[in-house]
Amino acid sequence: MISVSVIIPAYNAATHIRGSIDSVLAQTFQGFEIIIVDDGSKDDTAQVVAPYLSDSRVRYLRQENRGLPGARNAGAKAAKGDYFAFLDADDFLASSALEVLCREFQRTGSAWGNVGVLKLEGQNRTVRHPATPAGNRLLAILEYDFVTRCPFFPRDEFFAIGMYDEEIRMREDWDINIRLIEAHKCCVLINEPLYLYSRTEGSITTGNRRRLFSYTEKLMRKHHKRLADAGDDNIARIYARNMWDLARQYFYEIKDIRGGFRCMGESLRYDMNVFRLFHPLVHRIDIALGRR
pLDDT, tens digit, for every residue of 72-96? Answer: 999 999 999 999 999 999 999 999 9
Tell me if 171 sits within 8 A of 212, measured CB to CB: yes
Residue 31, helix vs strand vs coil: coil
State the span(s) of the chain assigned CATH 3.90.550.10.
Answer: 4-198
The answer, yes or no, to whether residue 203 has pLDDT greater than 60, is: no
In angstroms, rounded to a whole number, what is the distance separating the alpha carbons of residues 96 and 44?
30
**Mean pLDDT computed over 197-216:** 74
**Mean pLDDT computed over 198-205:** 56
Tell me if 36 sits within 8 A of 59, measured CB to CB: yes
Q: What is the mean pLDDT of the chain?
A: 92
Would you state the pLDDT for residue 283?
A: 52
DSSP annotation of 11: S
pLDDT, tens digit, for every residue of 12-63? Answer: 999 999 999 999 999 999 999 999 999 999 999 999 999 999 999 999 999 9
4-198 fold: Spore Coat Polysaccharide Biosynthesis Protein SpsA; Chain A (3.90.550)
Burial class (CB in 10 A: 0-12, 13-18, 19+), 82: middle
**pTM greater than 0.75:** yes
pLDDT, tens digit, for every residue of 207-266? Answer: 589 999 999 999 999 999 999 999 999 999 999 999 999 999 999 999 999 999 999 999
Q: Which of 4-18, 79-93, 110-124, 151-165 is predicted least confidently?
A: 110-124
**Mean pLDDT computed over 281-286:** 54
Distant-in-sequence, close-in-space partners of 146: CB < 8 Å, separation ≥ 6: 131, 132, 133, 140
The answer, yes or no, to whether residue 5 has pLDDT greater than 70, is: yes
The answer, yes or no, to whether residue 287 has pLDDT greater than 70, is: no
The answer, yes or no, to whether residue 206 has pLDDT greater than 50, is: no
Distant-in-sequence, close-in-space partners of 200: CB < 8 Å, separation ≥ 6: 15, 16, 90, 206
In angstroms, rounded to a whole number, what is the distance separating the alpha carbons of residues 144 and 135?
14
